[in-house]
């Protein structure tokens, strides 16, 4: 292993000479020029096909192809769907990613997907909190809203999560928000929540 530390600053846009944030933001948006939809789902390896199912449901391009420049550098993608992968597909863990995606690219749809046989259905908020006290000697009772910790009912969790996203200041009002259940066995999607965004008139 080399003891030489690479100059990682060379890969940080904000540290480049003549950095101008508005210009960089405008140019960076071209990396994924047609991004429209974010899908939030679980990191369970059994459900890695959720983005494919959502792409088919919303007529999106996923995973798309990588675009390179003449030097072979990866400069863009044809994908129109982005993934946010978190435990149980819970919205609480996706809020910052949604805000950043809007800032960098602009989005139209947020799709929250919970799946059958999810690990988040195997425990209760009290069970998790008590286990942390017993096993790690930490009181995490106030760390998260209880409704975001586990999944006791799919309709309830999706209604809560879509409302959480809608009420976040980091979620644009025009964005459509959906809640789906993914069947791990059949790979089918069932829509339980549809929350259309505000339609604004063109100036």
Q: At what angle do helices 95-104 and 154-167 cross, to 10 degrees?
A: 50
SS3 assignment, position 153: coil
Cα distances from 138 to residues 112, 133, 146, in angstroms, run 30, 5, 16
195 labeled part of a ligand binding site:
no
Residue 42 counted as an annotated binding residue = yes
Flag whether 20 is marked binding: no
What token pair was written down for 66?
Answer: 């990588």
Cis status of the peptide bond prior to 63, with omega within 30 of 0: yes
At residue 43's C-alpha, the angle toward residues 25 and 180, to 5°, is: 85
Q: Please state whether beta strands 81-85 and 74-77 pair in parallel, antiparallel, or not at all (unpaired).
A: unpaired
Three-state SS at 178: strand
Decide: 158 and 91 in contact? Cβ < 8 Å: no
Q: In whole angstroms, what is the distance from residue 163 CA to residue 183 CA?
A: 23
Q: Is 118 annotated as a binding residue?
A: yes
If DSSP codes are grouped into helix, strand and coil, which group holds residue 177? strand
Residues at the binding site for Zn(2+) are: 42, 44, 115, 118
**Binding site, annotated residues:** 42, 44, 115, 118
């Amino acid at each position: 292993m080399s003891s030489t530390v690479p100059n990682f600053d060379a890969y940080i846009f904000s540290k480049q000479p003549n950095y101008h944030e508005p210009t960089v933001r405008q140019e960076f948006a071209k990396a994924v020029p047609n991004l429209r939809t974010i899908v939030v789902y679980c990191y369970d390896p059994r459900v890695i096909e959720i983005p494919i199912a959502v792409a088919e449901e919303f007529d999106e391009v996923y995973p798309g192809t990588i675009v390179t420049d003449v030097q072979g550098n990866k400069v863009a993608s044809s994908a129109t769907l982005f993934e946010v992968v978190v435990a149980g597909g819970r919205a609480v863990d996706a809020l910052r990613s949604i805000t950043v995606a809007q800032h960098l690219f602009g989005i139209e749809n947020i799709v929250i997907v919970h799946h059958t046989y999810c690990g988040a259905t195997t425990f209760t908020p009290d069970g998790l909190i008590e286990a942390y006290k017993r096993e790690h000697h930490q009181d995490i009772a106030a760390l998260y809203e209880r409704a975001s910790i586990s999944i006791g009912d799919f309709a309830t969790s999706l209604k809560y999560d879509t409302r959480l996203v809608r009420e976040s200041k980091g979620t644009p009002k025009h964005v459509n928000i959906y809640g789906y259940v993914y069947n791990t066995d059949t790979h089918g999607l069932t829509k339980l929540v549809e929350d259309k965004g505000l339609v604004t008139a063109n100036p």
